[in-house]
Amino acid sequence: MEPDDRSDEPENTTDPHRGYGDRGYGDRGYDAEDLLAALGDAAEDRAGETEPPACRLVEISLTVNGDEILQDVKLDIPAHACTVIMGPSGSGKSTLLKTAAGLLVPDTGYVEILGTNPNHATDRELERLRARNGFVFQDDALWQNLSLLQNLTLPVRYHRHDLASDSVTERINGLVGELGAPRRLELRPANVSAGERKIISFVRAIVGDPELLFLDEPTTSVDGEHADLMIRKLRELKERNVTLVAVTHNARIASQLADYVVVLKAGRILRFGSLHEISRSNEPEVGRILTDVLSETATYDGDILELLDPETNTYLT
Amino acid sequence: MRGAIEQIGSATIVRVRKLLYALGFMVDVFKQTFRFTTSRRVGTHVLTMQILFTGVEALSVVATISLSLGAVIVIQGLSLLPQFGQGQLIFDILIIVITRELGPLLTAVIVTARSGTAISTELGNMVISHEIEAYTVTGINPIRHIVVPRFIGVTLSTLLLNLYFNLFGLLGSFVVTQFVNPIPLREYLSGLLASLSLTDVVSSVVKSIVFGAIIALVATFHGLQVERATTEIPVAAIRSVSHGIILLIIANAIITLIYYI
């Protein structure tokens, strides 16, 4: 699916779902449509130029235990931009992300990652392709029988024989310090908190300088301060032309990073386009899903208020 | 009637597919084992740990069982065989039972019970916690990094444990002989060596290598068959033991048959 531009159609003022987001967060009475419009304005100038896609999904269908998780998915994920996949719980977001990363083999269709179909690649080609990717799992997926340091050094040692161990250690220490990860890297993953494991998982994904980074709820379990550090790092990676593909419910990630948004429902792509287009979409279902997803997070950490507050809203500038 | 035939047909197709998948897995493990031994050695730590767990930590269990078995064979043999004037056959029986048959088989059963279940459980947990996916996505081949060190480790350990089993089994029988019908060590050893042929040694070594490979392949295969629920893990461990032991007994019969052809 190419980015959609149907949002240029006139607003449907008689939309029965128009008042869906009017929940009156705080006393200010901000509604989610205002939020979406604000997000769209922020992203207006961020959409990437037309280039070969970083990742191409062609007519993908995937069934797991009789359930059709993905249905006829066609998607070109733009290179050097951030694409955020959003949708209600159980809509197939993580499955879509794993399929896009070549971790799940679809029943029909195929995937091309950085121009390579992983199912047709030789072992060596696949190894080289993987070395150019990073993936942050929703539940960290650290190797439990290794220390945190070994979790970080193993992929680098495996792929980069040319690097001296001192420079690897230096790079790891730099990233660990920058992201506020636990300093005691000799510990096993079971001995640190879920948030710390998530940060280490994030460091593992970026330590090899990936060209394409997949993120599945990267800030889940991470406190606000460390989440901000992660988002700052992601912005830095984006500025260095790293392609980001993220599944998130976090409004801050969507607002500060997204160039494109995929709206997923029941395994089908409901809409794909720039954040600006999607946030101004007059399709009630798209609006309802985004409102639900964004306000779900905002209910807990006040994102909507923060995003709409002119004093604290820095992303609009 | 037609429905029953269809059910049998579809069940057969599923079984054939599973068998082909298992064969494909086996071929991949052999291929990656070759690459593991000829290229970089990131998995050597896993290999060392596997040998330590399977080979070294099982030593006391193997020694106890083989000492007891050797003792029982001598007690039974020396109470029965002299009645027929065949007391010297005790050495042949010791070699047949300990070196050729029960040594490799019992060692393999011990390794299946200890290491086969442990490997299936560990790999099943790694699947559930997405650690295997993490290997895949970071470009580290999980077969080469996770399965191959266990395959080599279990195979080598089974071979070494079989040697220990023989050593302790034959030693145990000598110790018991001293209580029942004392003979000098030199005479005991010469009796054993006279009964031992090169084919006995080859048969024992071949069996323990084949058994080790079977245990490792079955355990890793079932461990990686776990998909998403933790309840699948004990099922994988049980299948690892039951399928493993069945295959061990079949392989033992085939190798013994070849020995006598």
Please tell me what DSSP assigns to residue A16: T
Query: CB of A194 within 8 Å of any CB in chain B?
Result: no
B199-206 contacts: CB < 8 A, separation 24 or more?
B199/B259, B200/B95, B200/B99, B200/B100, B201/B99, B203/B100, B203/B255, B203/B256, B203/B259, B204/B99, B204/B100, B204/B103, B204/B104, B204/B162, B204/B166, B205/B159, B205/B162, B206/B255
More confident residue, A47 or B4: B4
**pLDDT tens digit string along B179-203?**
877 888 888 888 888 888 898 899 9
The burial class, CB within 10 Å (0-12 / 13-18 / 19+), for B22 is middle
Residues 6+ apart with CB under 8 A from B242: none
Query: CB of A202 within 8 Å of any CB in chain B?
Result: no
Query: CB of B4 within 8 Å of any CB in chain A?
Result: no
Q: What residue in A sits closest to B131 (Cα-Cα)?
A: A141
- Taking the C-alpha atoms of residue B91 and residue B68, their distance in angstroms, rounded to an integer, is 17
Residue type at A118? P
Q: What residue in A sits closest to B133 (Cα-Cα)?
A: A103
Contact B140 A158 (CB under 8 A): yes
Closest-CA distance of chain A to residue B240, Å: 22
Residue B227 has pLDDT above 70, yes or no: yes
Closest-CA distance of chain A to residue B131, Å: 5
pLDDT score for B246:
96
Contact A127 B141 (CB under 8 A): yes
Query: CB of A163 within 8 Å of any CB in chain B?
Result: no
Query: CB of B44 within 8 Å of any CB in chain A?
Result: no
Please tell me what DSSP assigns to residue A249: -
**pLDDT tens digit string along B88-139?**
888 889 898 899 889 999 999 999 999 999 999 999 999 999 999 999 999 8
The burial class, CB within 10 Å (0-12 / 13-18 / 19+), for A83 is buried
Query: CB of A103 within 8 Å of any CB in chain B?
Result: yes
Contact B138 A158 (CB under 8 A): yes
Contact B42 A103 (CB under 8 A): no
Query: CB of B40 within 8 Å of any CB in chain A?
Result: yes
- Taking the C-alpha atoms of residue A297 and residue A39, their distance in angstroms, rounded to an integer, is 15
Contact A141 B131 (CB under 8 A): yes
pLDDT score for A33:
54
Nearest to B139 among A103, A127, A137 (CB): A127
pLDDT score for B44:
80
pLDDT in tens, chain A (317 residues): 555 443 433 333 333 333 323 333 333 334 545 555 555 555 554 444 467 899 999 999 999 888 889 999 999 999 999 999 998 888 899 999 999 999 999 999 999 999 999 989 988 899 889 999 999 999 999 999 999 999 999 988 888 777 788 888 888 999 999 998 877 899 999 999 999 999 999 999 999 899 999 999 999 888 889 999 999 999 999 999 999 999 988 888 888 889 999 999 999 999 898 888 887 777 888 888 877 777 655 444 444 334 423 344 444 33
Entry field: residues in chain A: 317
The burial class, CB within 10 Å (0-12 / 13-18 / 19+), for B256 is middle
Residue type at B231? T
pLDDT score for A9:
38
Is the predicted ipTM greater than 0.85, yes or no? no
Residues in chain A closer than 8 A to B42 (CB atoms): 154, 157-158
Query: CB of B38 within 8 Å of any CB in chain A?
Result: no
pLDDT score for A134:
94
pLDDT score for A282:
77
If pLDDT is split at 50, 70 and 90, which confidence band does B3 have? confident
Nearest to A103 among B131, B133, B140 (CB): B133
Location of structure tokens 């439990």:
A144
Mean pLDDT over all residues of chain B? 90
The burial class, CB within 10 Å (0-12 / 13-18 / 19+), for A61 is middle
Rounded to 5 degrees, φ, ψ at B199 are -65, -30
